[in-house]
Amino acid sequence: MVVVGVALGVVASQVALTPSIALADVSILAVGALLLLPLGLLVGQEAFAINNPLWSLCFEMVASVVYGCVARRNFHFWYEMAAIALLVAGLFLVVIFEGGIGLPAS
């Protein structure tokens, strides 16, 4: 369903009259959407500009990884700290580039 949603988003972005999204940016956005990464921030768009509901799946995957680290105690403490540090660094980058984690001001 993610692949179908991304494909429909790419088609919609090409059909719709949106001059703000260049063709080269659409490919970056599509790859980011398929990998559930907020690569839209790199091209000055929303985090998931191709398919907005993917933000939910992205955070669901993050929550699953965190839960997996906590529920299964097979991981070492430093692996868990490294995962948490990477998540904090990612959130920090989003806040730096976007100025916050909410909707952009109009």
pLDDT on residue 48: 77
Q: Which residues of 34-71 are buried (b: 16+ CB within 10 A; e: fewer)?
A: bebbbbbbebebebbbbbeebeebbeeeeeeeeeebee
Token pair recorded at residue 106: 């109009």
pLDDT on residue 102: 66
Give the whole-number percent of the chain exceeding pLDDT 70: 84
**Position 7: which residue type?**
A
pLDDT tens-digit series, residues 31-74: 778 777 777 777 777 777 777 788 788 888 888 888 887 776 66
Residue 26, number of CB atoms within 10 A of its CB: 19
Mean pLDDT of 100-104: 67
Find tokens 């580039």 and name the residue: 97
Cα(10)–Cα(27) distance, rounded to whole angstroms?
8
Cα(102)–Cα(59) distance, rounded to whole angstroms?
14
pLDDT on residue 89: 93
Q: Is the dihedral of CA 98, 101, 103, 106 positive or negative?
A: negative
